[in-house]
Amino acid sequence: MIFAIAYDIKDLERESRFLRRMNELGTNIQYLPNSFFIQCEDTTATLLYNNLRELTDDVDRLLITQVNKTALMGWLNTTVVNWIKEHN
């Protein structure tokens, strides 16, 4: 499954830990500043959120949603579009 993750982490150390964890959880690609697509098998948005939320603080912001390729509309870099096609 592919999920979209958007975040605003106020502390560089927390953000570094967050990004390391995201890399451990699955293959990902950045598509906008502070926004990634991540492929994680056998998980849900809730489980992914819980795993990443423990690295954030109440002043930070985090949004995770599952991506449905057939309902996805937008204008992104060709590299990102190809990544979605390969991972979905």
Per-residue pLDDT tens over the stretch 63-87: 999 998 777 778 898 999 889 888 8
Which band of pLDDT confidence, cut at 50, 70 and 90, is reported for residue 37? very high
* Structural domain range at position 33: 2-87
The type of residue at 7 is Y
**Mean pLDDT confidence for 1-19:** 96
Q: How many domains does the chain have?
A: 1
What's the CATH number where 14 sits?
3.30.70.240
Closest CA to 46 of 15, 81, 3, 11: 3
**Distance (Å) of CA 34 to CA 8, 15, 27, 41, 55:** 7, 10, 16, 22, 15
**Mean pLDDT confidence for 40-64:** 95
3-state helix, strand, coil in the chain (%, to 5): 40, 30, 30
Nearest-10 crossing angle of helices 45-53, 12-25: 140
